[in-house]
Structures are given as structure tokens and as C-alpha cells.
Amino acid sequence: MHLPNDASTVANLNQPIGRLALANGMVYTGRAFGAVGRGIVARAEVVFNTAVSGYQESLTDPSYTGQILVQTFPMIGNTGTNGEDVESNKVQVSGLIVRELARLYSNYRADDGLSAYLARYGVLGLEGIDTRALTKHLRTSGSMAGALTDRTDLDDAELVEAARSAPSMAGQNLVPLVGCASRLSWSETLGEWSPGGDTEKERFRVVALDCGAKANILRNLAERGCDLLVVPYDTPAADIRRLFEAGEVDGLFISNGPGDPAAVQKTINTLRDLMSGDADTVIPTFGICLGHQLLALAAGAKTYKLKFGHRGINQPVLNTQNQRVEITSQNHGFAVDPESLKAVGGVVTHRHLNDGTVAGFRLREKPVFSVQYHPEASPGPHDAGYLFDAFVTSMAERRRKRESRAQVR
């Protein structure tokens, strides 16, 4: 089914025509921007984000690898882009769909417009389509593969076939595309965005398994006194355990990332090994988003694909420990099965209030916990910052125990 826009609207702006085709045969026509004229046919899963702001953070979030992003807010680009509000070193999305691209941007921190920014990274955008209708279609039919192009030599039927040939997100391990290739240290904090507080923080050493970590997660950990050793996702458990047993590491963090968690088998194996000991030998561990799912799988639970996922900065979550509601930022298409989690000793600590899915858990007998959402994104704005503090507290308690045992000996 072909869904054209008003012809005069498309023609008057002197932009090339662009199209988005979905695997179920729907075709949306609009105006191309960004990396136009390069023969791009982007094939990826089409998903939507309900956030009103933060589009540059979304574009550079490694968790969006392998996805064409639809922004539901009607105008995108009015604050431009800058070199600071990024979550990685490049634009990660395969394409961007908006209702209207702002022709002028206004922000004292901006140094470029959105179209030029996408062009710099070779990413195609599409504007002028009814993103509300597209979002409703994805909610009804579920996220699906799509193909985005400004090429005129492909007809609609060929573009639909291109969409159908896109790889399914289920079963894809995309982590190797976004994680670091070798060890690196991280010390950057929140800088001018710091909430302040104690400047004489106790220092903790944390190994961060990089599955596509957002920079602001690492900044939040560093802000709380963590000296971070960021390592590849496939780092063997023996290497991490050796550091912990030698007293060189206090905690383990598992980051967000893209793709199907069940396909990231090397990380699951590492975590399963590290979690196999008793409570006194397991490293204090914290996971976010994909890290949450990987920890659940390592514990023996199951994950499943959501119909259209949770993506936005207005997602309500209930903390079941204190009955408080947090407004959270989320970006994921898979979830943890609660019954399988309960069967392996997991305790659900947070639930998504829109659909009741698991938004956080801890292991009953071990210092391991995680959340499905992004506490570093601060949509609340500080509703979920306590999670980083809880991780620091867990490491401090373990350090005290180790010091106490050493004194006894």
C-alpha cells in the first residue's frame, strides 16, 4: 500500500523524494535529508521513540544499532547538534524518520544542524510523512523490518523486497559492532552537569563489560568515585575473577547494547561463571538495559521479544521495594520472563506500569542487581540516580567485609 503525502508539500521544498517501505508492503513517501544522493538503501528494524527531547542522544546511542528510528514528536532538529550531547563516537541509527525537520536551530551550544550532522555520518533521514500514523501502525502490527532510500531507480515493490530481506532482530548479536576492541580506562565525570555533593569520595575500581555502553552511564559511575576499566564484551571470566581476587577490582558493571540478548553467548557464559560462587565470592554486579537481560540469562532465566518495545523518556516504573513510581528513560525491544526469573532465585524489584513487564531484579542470595531502564538519562530528572549509589554501597560493604577478614587472619 502506497501512502503519498500532499504533492505540493513535497515539491515546494526542493528536496529529493525519499521513501520508507515496510516488510508488510506499506510504503511511505516524503522528503529525504541528511546523506542524500549517495545511493543509500538502509535495511533495518523500524522502531519509534516517544521522547520530546534528546534526539542527539538517541541518534548516538549504540543500542539503536540495526534500527531505523521514528521520532513521534512532530518537529525534530530545533536545538541543532553539538559535540557534547553524544553517547558514542558516531551516529548509530540506520536511518531517521520525522514529521518535520526544523529548518533553523536555536541553542547557544549548537554548532550544526541535524541534516548536516546526519550527512557527516552517512545516515539518511526522511521527513514529511505522517509519523503518527506510522507509529500507530507499528503499535498494531509490531516493530518490523524496513528499507529507507532516496534512490529513484527502485520501484515500490523492489523497496518492499529490500525490507523483507533485512535481517531479523531476533537472533542477532550486534554487540561486536559497538563494543570496545581492547581495554581502556575511563575517568570523565559529569562536569558542569554534576549535582555536586561530597568531593572526597571513596574510590572504587570497576570493570565495565562494554556491550555498547552509553557515555553518560560511564560518566555517572566516574562521578561517584569509580575508576573504570572498560573491557570488551567477550572478556573471559577468569581474567575478571583474577583482578577481583587480587583486590584490584571492587565491582562489575554490564552495559546497555543492541540486538538480541540471547545471542550474546560469550558474555552470558562469562557472567554465569562469575555468578556461580557463593555470596562471599561473587563480585558486586550491576547491569543496565542489555546488561540486565544478560544477567537474567546468565542466572538461568529467559528473555523474549516485545511487540514494539519501550523507547522514550516518559516510561513509568514502580519500585516494588518502596512502592514509589519513577519516570524513566527506556530503549529496548526484549524483556525478561518473570516466571523463569523467579525459578532461579531472582526477585523482581521494578515493574513497568504500562504493561507489567520486568524493569529490574536482584538475586536473592548474591550481590547482583540490574534495571531494564536508563538511570543515567535523568528524565525524572533524578528519580533513578540512587541505583548508581546502591552499586557503590554494595562495593563498599564488600570491601569492609574483605578488610575485616584480613584483620582476623
Which residues are annotated as catalytic?
289, 374, 376
Best CA proximity match to 65, nearest among 33, 94, 23, 100: 94
The residue to which cell 530503549 is assigned? 331
Cβ neighbours for 108, distance < 8 A, ≥ 6 positions apart: none
Distance CA 84, CA 56 (A): 10
Burial pattern 150-173, b for ≥16 Cβ within 10 A else e, equals: bbeebeeeebbebbbebeebeebb
| CA distance to 289, 370, 374, per residue, from 63 (Å) | 9, 17, 11
Cβ neighbours for 243, distance < 8 A, ≥ 6 positions apart: 207, 249
Query: Angle 127-131-136 (CA atoms, 0-180°, nearest 5)?
Result: 160
First-to-last alpha carbon distance for the chain, in angstroms, is: 75
